[in-house]
């Protein structure tokens, strides 16, 4: 597994994957729709898939002493690291903003506990659709991205909307009570992300096995 | 001992069918897989390597079923896919650093030796290498992880005559001690005259003949015209077998 990750980041990943991971820091921007940050967590892997196609990464990987399935595993691990990395990079800023009550977000959702849970759900939906569609052919990355980014953007708009709907405003809160109340959202987000990644892997591998390179 | 056994490989495409392809490769042998463009040479090689999903068939490498022991089998294989370059803008040293991690039997000393022997500079990027040098780099990698079987898809296509001759001489040297074997596809029959011990001829997705080179040539002498005294060479055999007549 570590060898695959090493290969992904040494040879296959496009530099934007790392740059976009650090765009998690964008939650420092005052009054900004923070789900835009999530777009970069999807764009980074997408750029790397295009780059991998350009560099014949699939051919190189499939000829290494690994299973054909490991081609999918490598890309999925790379994506998980990029997305979780992005959220972890942003976390200290979110904590700082909450503790200091610094510049409350008037545009959309705060970078609070619920934001992280809902972000994971957004990423999970994107990954499931993107990976499973891409590995039908192992080259139609643009089409897979388009199919995946539309529903995940709808989810992102819904996440931003919670701050404007009275019934869901507790999801936008940063008070101690609100943050505790949001904890189940984070837990559900983690569970959905983990379950979706397992499902994504299973479906993608089944499809990729039948792809003729 | 048989290093590679291909048994009943079949694959159906909408426009093309690979039908019941079977042949085997002994240790210390160089086998040429010939056929015209589109005959199924690359599909056969890719099916052997699990890059193409065959409908039927079994591949044994060193006696082990490839799909069941994919990782172990790949440890013993070196592959060159003609016309497919990996990571054009990466330095060879970067690619080697990653590649070596995947092989149990990686030998750094051997790697340095072959890089020097083939006059390859690790600091160069892939796109700075000539076509022949790219093939040699992949062979250096294969030899460094002690590959027993080299599978080469059209390795000599696009090479100048000097580079081609150089590569064919290298192939001959590689199998000399009897521990390695080479399976390479080509449509350049003169490559086989120089270095192949056996030939497998594929036509329209089916094996026409697989045999030792001498037996192969004598089998096709029925294509000779009555007035011809010299034996037909491989090129003539292929041309006469594939020749079409157009009634325009």
Q: Do B102 and A56 touch (CB under 8 A)?
A: no
CA dist list (Å): A190 to A123, A183, B178 = 11, 11, 56
pLDDT band of B167, cuts 50, 70, 90: confident
DSSP state of A12: I
- The minimal CB distance from B79 to the residues A10, A63, A211 is found for A63
| Cα distance between residue A122 and residue A15, in whole Å | 23
| pLDDT computed for residue A162 by the predictor | 87
pLDDT band of B201, cuts 50, 70, 90: very high
Question: Which of 3.40.605.10, 3.90.1640.10, 3.40.50.11740, 3.40.50.300 would CATH assign to domain B1-76+149-155+181-241?
Answer: 3.40.50.300
Q: Each residue of B103-126: pLDDT tens digit?
A: 999 999 999 999 998 889 999 999
% of residues, chain B, pLDDT over 90: 62
CB B211 within 8 Å of CB B199 = yes
CA A85 to chain centre: 9
| pLDDT computed for residue B164 by the predictor | 85
* Tokens 């993608």, residue located: A204
Contacts of B50 in chain A (CB under 8 A): 62, 68
Structural domain span for residue A73: 2-209
Q: Do B46 and A60 touch (CB under 8 A)?
A: no
- The minimal CB distance from A56 to the residues B50, B74, B86 is found for B86
**Best interface-test mutation with B: which of A64, A67, A73, A137 has the largest number of B CBs within 10 A?**
A64
CB B2 within 8 Å of CB B28 = no
A51 against B161, higher pLDDT? A51
Q: Which two tokens stand for residue A60?
A: 């190189």
**Best interface-test mutation with A: which of B76, B98, B146 has the largest number of A CBs within 10 A?**
B98
Q: How far is B161 from chain A (nearest CA, A)?
A: 27
- To 10 degrees, the CA torsion angle through A171, A177, A180, A184? -40
C-alpha angle A6-A7-A12 in degrees, rounded to nearest 5:
125
Q: How far is B195 from chain A (nearest CA, A)?
A: 25
How many domains are there within chain A?
A: 1
Chain A, nearest residue to B89 by Cα: A55
CB A30 within 8 Å of CB A111 = no
Q: Do A59 and B86 touch (CB under 8 A)?
A: yes
Q: Do B74 and A7 touch (CB under 8 A)?
A: no
| Cα distance between residue A91 and residue A189, in whole Å | 15
Burial class (CB in 10 A: 0-12, 13-18, 19+), A47: buried
Asked if the C-beta of B95 comes within 8 angstroms of chain A's C-beta atoms, the answer is yes
A102 against B101, higher pLDDT? B101
Strands B30-34 and B181-186: parallel
| pLDDT computed for residue B174 by the predictor | 86
If one counts every other C-beta atom within 10 angstroms of the C-beta of residue B169, the result is 12
Asked if the C-beta of A10 comes within 8 angstroms of chain B's C-beta atoms, the answer is yes
| pLDDT computed for residue A166 by the predictor | 86
The one-digit pLDDT tens for each residue of chain A (213 residues) are: 899 999 999 999 999 999 999 999 999 888 899 999 999 999 999 999 999 999 999 999 999 999 999 999 999 999 999 999 999 999 999 999 888 877 678 888 999 999 999 999 999 999 999 999 999 999 999 999 999 999 999 999 999 998 888 888 888 888 899 999 999 999 999 999 999 999 999 999 999 999 998
Contacts of A67 in chain B (CB under 8 A): 70-71
DSSP state of B125: B
């Amino acid at each position: 597994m570590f060898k695959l990750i090493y290969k992904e980041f040494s040879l296959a990943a496009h530099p934007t994957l790392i740059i976009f991971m650090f765009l998690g820091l964008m939650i420092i921007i005052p009054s900004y729709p923070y789900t835009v940050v999530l777009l970069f967590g999807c764009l980074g892997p997408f750029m790397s898939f295009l780059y991998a196609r350009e560099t014949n990464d699939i051919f190189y990987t499939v000829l290494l002493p690994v299973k054909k399935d490991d081609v999918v595993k490598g890309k999925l691990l790379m994506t998980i690291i990029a997305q979780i990395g992005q959220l972890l990079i942003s976390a200290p800023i979110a904590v700082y903003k909450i503790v200091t009550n610094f510049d409350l977000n008037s545009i959309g959702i705060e970078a609070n506990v619920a934001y992280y849970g809902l972000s994971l759900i957004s990423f999970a939906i994107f990954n499931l659709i993107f990976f499973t569609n891409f590995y039908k052919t192992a080259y139609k990355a643009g089409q897979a991205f388009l199919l995946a980014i539309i529903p995940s953007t709808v989810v992102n708009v819904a996440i931003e909307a919670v701050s404007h709907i009275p019934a869901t405003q507790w999801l936008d809160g940063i008070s101690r009570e609100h943050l505790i109340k949001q904890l189940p959202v984070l837990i559900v987000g983690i569970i959905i992300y983990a379950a979706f990644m397992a499902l994504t892997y299973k479906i993608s591998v089944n499809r990729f096995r039948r792809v003729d390179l | 001992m048989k290093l590679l056994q291909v048994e009943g490989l079949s694959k159906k495409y909408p426009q093309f069918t690979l039908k019941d392809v079977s042949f085997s490769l002994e240790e210390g042998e160089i086998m040429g897989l010939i056929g015209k463009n589109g005959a199924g040479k690359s599909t056969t090689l890719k099916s052997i390597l699990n890059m193409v999903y065959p409908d039927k068939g079994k591949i044994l490498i060193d006696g082990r079923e490839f799909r069941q022991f994919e990782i172990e089998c790949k440890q013993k294989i070196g592959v060159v896919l003609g016309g497919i370059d990996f990571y054009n803008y990466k330095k060879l040293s970067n690619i080697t650093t990653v590649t070596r991690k995947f092989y149990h039997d990686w030998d750094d000393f051997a790697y340095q030796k072959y890089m020097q022997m083939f006059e390859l500079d690790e600091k160069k990027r892939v796109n700075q290498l000539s076509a022949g040098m790219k093939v040699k780099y992949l062979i250096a990698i294969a030899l460094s992880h002690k590959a027993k079987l080299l599978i080469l898809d059209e390795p000599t296509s696009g090479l100048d005559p000097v580079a081609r001759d150089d590569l064919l001489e290298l192939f001959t040297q590689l199998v000399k001690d009897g521990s390695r074997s080479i399976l390479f596809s080509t449509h350049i029959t003169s490559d086989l005259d120089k270095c192949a011990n056996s030939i497998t001829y594929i036509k329209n997705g089916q094996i026409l003949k697989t045999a030792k080179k001498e037996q192969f040539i004598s089998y096709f002498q029925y294509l000779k015209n009555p007035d011809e005294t010299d034996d037909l060479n491989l090129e003539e055999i292929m041309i006469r077998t594939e020749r079409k007549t157009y009634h325009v």
